[in-house]
């Protein structure tokens, strides 16, 4: 079961990245960017993803993140770098704004259904006594709601256009709250001096490969798609609206 769980995290991460690349590849020809700029943006995306994934994977293999005694814990690198990058892109990137304007809004929301699989994989780690119960849907993790609601909101807000846009905006806000709630629970379950949840096992497994991809890729995709969807929906007229 452990090897199956490992494969699940890798496969799901690859799927999310490929899905995002597909949306980028489809949107770029519809923008005002030159062909050279379109190619440069795709190279930058691939280079960033490959570089970041390689970096956190090598650091995890070397047990760099396994040291929870330092303050702040080294694993915070995996949490903060993509978070600050996603916030910066959402707030200040005009390039991202134009790209988002050419992506049908339902596609960013449909992707959030991947969080159903994430929660199953997290539960499997709990069953194997590798994660504490509070990080699962049996405990304090309600993030699965974001995954369950995603296809419903996307379908009725955009595919069928029966629900108003504010429902999708509210969904994204709820999703952000849920993902950062479980991130906070995960941090408070680290074996650190500020640990709050003292039940075993502590949240150590995310410092190892490939489970470091959970905070480094999958959590990043979750909140980034919420940020980008909100940026899209709050702009004048996203594609397909």
Per residue in 65-115, pLDDT (tens digit) is 999 988 889 999 999 999 999 999 999 999 999 999 999 999 999 999 999
Long-range contacts formed by 187-195: CB under 8 A, 24+ apart = 187/79, 189/132, 189/134, 189/135, 190/68, 190/73, 190/75, 191/68, 192/68, 192/69, 192/71, 192/73, 193/69, 193/71
Per-residue confidence (pLDDT) for residue 60, from 0 to 100: 97
Per-residue confidence (pLDDT) for residue 228, from 0 to 100: 98
For 39-52, what is the mean pLDDT?
Answer: 98
d(CA 194, CA 192): 5
Would you say 130 and 201 are in contact if contact means Cβ atoms under 8 Å apart? yes
Supply the pTM of this predicted model.
Answer: 0.94
Per residue in 142-174, pLDDT (tens digit) is 999 999 999 999 999 999 999 999 999 999 999
Per-residue confidence (pLDDT) for residue 128, from 0 to 100: 96
Per-residue confidence (pLDDT) for residue 71, from 0 to 100: 84
Would you say 87 and 176 are in contact if contact means Cβ atoms under 8 Å apart? no
Cα 12–chain centre separation: 11
Residue 237 has pLDDT above 70, yes or no: no
Residue 235 has pLDDT above 90, yes or no: no
Per residue in 175-215, pLDDT (tens digit) is 999 999 999 999 999 999 999 999 999 999 999 999 999 99
Q: Does residue 80 have a cis peptide bond before it, meaning omega lies within 30 degrees of 0?
A: no
Per-residue confidence (pLDDT) for residue 241, from 0 to 100: 47
């Amino acid at each position: 079961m452990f090897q199956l769980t490992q494969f699940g995290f890798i496969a799901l991460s690859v799927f999310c990245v490929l899905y995002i690349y597909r949306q980028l590849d489809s949107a770029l020809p519809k923008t005002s960017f030159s062909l050279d700029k379109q190619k440069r943006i795709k190279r930058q995306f691939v280079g960033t993803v490959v570089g970041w994934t390689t970096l956190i994977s090598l650091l995890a293999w070397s047990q760099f993140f396994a040291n929870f005694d330092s303050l702040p814990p080294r694993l915070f690198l995996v949490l903060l770098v993509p978070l600050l990058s996603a916030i910066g892109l959402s707030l200040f990137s005009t390039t991202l704004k134009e790209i988002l304007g050419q992506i049908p809004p339902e596609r960013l929301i449909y992707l959030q259904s991947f969080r159903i699989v994430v929660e199953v994989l997290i539960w499997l780690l709990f069953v194997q006594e590798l994660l504490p119960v509070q990080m699962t849907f049996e405990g304090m993790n309600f993030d699965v709601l974001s995954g369950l609601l995603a296809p419903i909101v996307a379908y009725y807000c955009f595919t069928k256009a029966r629900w108003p846009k504010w429902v999708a905006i509210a969904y994204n806000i709820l999703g952000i709250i849920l993902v950062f709630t479980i991130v906070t629970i995960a941090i408070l379950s680290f074996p650190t001096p500020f640990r709050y949840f003292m039940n075993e096992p502590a949240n150590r497994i995310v410092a190892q490969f490939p489970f470091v991809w959970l905070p480094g890729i999958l959590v990043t995709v979750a909140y980034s798609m919420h940020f980008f969807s909100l940026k899209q929906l709050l702009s004048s007229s996203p594609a397909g609206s």
